[in-house]
Structure 1
């Protein structure tokens, strides 16, 4: 399989930025569906796919989200065309007969094991949220991921049955490039990686 072009790598990684200011352009529901349909293809443990996404778009849903945001995240979130709540289903293992048909005992790896459920759900939904960011960028949509919010408040507002828990948020839209600051530093390879 050939490598992606430099232009594609620029769009997804090298030139992509975290946006906090947004153009006044809506995101079509079809675009949000396309982003989710790409993100779902990324790997997860045992194909467990615990991630659940809620795309907060309507004014009513935005107002449900507002009181649970840290003060510094209110403006950027309320002005974003959409905010994805990246969450995880704590009963994801109930879907493994469908998701992992080659492993008929997969449910038993998780059922009745709350620590394993929590670790697997949180870790893999974080992966799926990262895939969502890459999918959005690949479709020309800018992202502003963040964790400054009350998880318990969001869970009560959006997942009152307690079976789904939030992980982090991603503002989505078309960023305003005029309000970007210079890219912040990144480590050189040897500062964060090694080949053993």
Structure 2
């Protein structure tokens, strides 16, 4: 498989930034569907796909989200065309007979095992949320992932049956580059990597 051109790597990584200011420009529903269709293709443990996405776009849904945001995240979230609640399904294993047909006993790896459910659900939703960020960037959107919110409040407002648990939020839209700060430093290879 050939390497991607530099322009694509720039869009996905080198020039991509966390945005907090947004153009007043809606995201078509078809684009949100395409983002989700791309994100679902990334790998998860046993293809468990525990991530669940709620695309919060309506004014009513944004107002349900507002009281659970940390104060510093209210403006950027309320002005974003879409905010994704990245959550995980605590009963994701019930779909394994369909999602992991090559492992007929996969459901038994999780059913009745809360620690395995929590670990795999959280880990998988982290991965799937990251895939969603990359899919959105690939389609020309900007992202503002964040964790500053009351998870219990969001879960009660959006997942009252308790089956899903929120992990983090991602604001989506078309950012205002003139509002960006200079990129903050990153660690050198030797500071966070070892080749063994």
Structure-2-length-normalised TM-score: 1.00
Structure 2 residue aligned with 1:108: 108
Number of equivalences: 196
Residue correspondence of structure 1 range 60-71 to structure 2 within 5 A: 60-71=60-71
Aligned-residue Cα RMSD (Å) equals: 0.3
Q: CA separation in 2, counterparts of 1:13 and 1:177?
A: 15
Quote the offset at 1:64 in angstroms: 0.3
Q: Secondary structure at the match of 2:95?
A: helix
Q: Secondary structure at the match of 1:186?
A: coil
Quote the offset at 1:85 in angstroms: 0.2
Structure 2 residue aligned with 1:12: 12
Quote the offset at 1:179 in angstroms: 0.3
Q: Secondary structure at the match of 2:7?
A: helix
Q: CA separation in 1, counterparts of 2:18 and 2:135?
A: 14
Q: CA separation in 2, counterparts of 1:46 and 1:172?
A: 29
Q: CA separation in 1, counterparts of 2:10 and 2:184?
A: 16
Q: CA separation in 2, counterparts of 1:160 and 1:47?
A: 26
Structure-1-length-normalised TM-score: 1.00
Quote the offset at 1:59 in angstroms: 0.1
Q: Which runs of 4+ in 1 moved over 3 A?
A: none
Quote the offset at 1:41 in angstroms: 0.2
Q: Secondary structure at the match of 2:87?
A: strand
Quote the offset at 1:186 in angstroms: 0.3
Q: Secondary structure at the match of 1:172?
A: strand
Q: Secondary structure at the match of 1:27?
A: coil
Quote the offset at 1:70 in angstroms: 0.1
Structure 2 residue aligned with 1:181: 181
Quote the offset at 1:63 in angstroms: 0.2
Residue correspondence of structure 1 range 128-147 to structure 2 within 5 A: 128-147=128-147
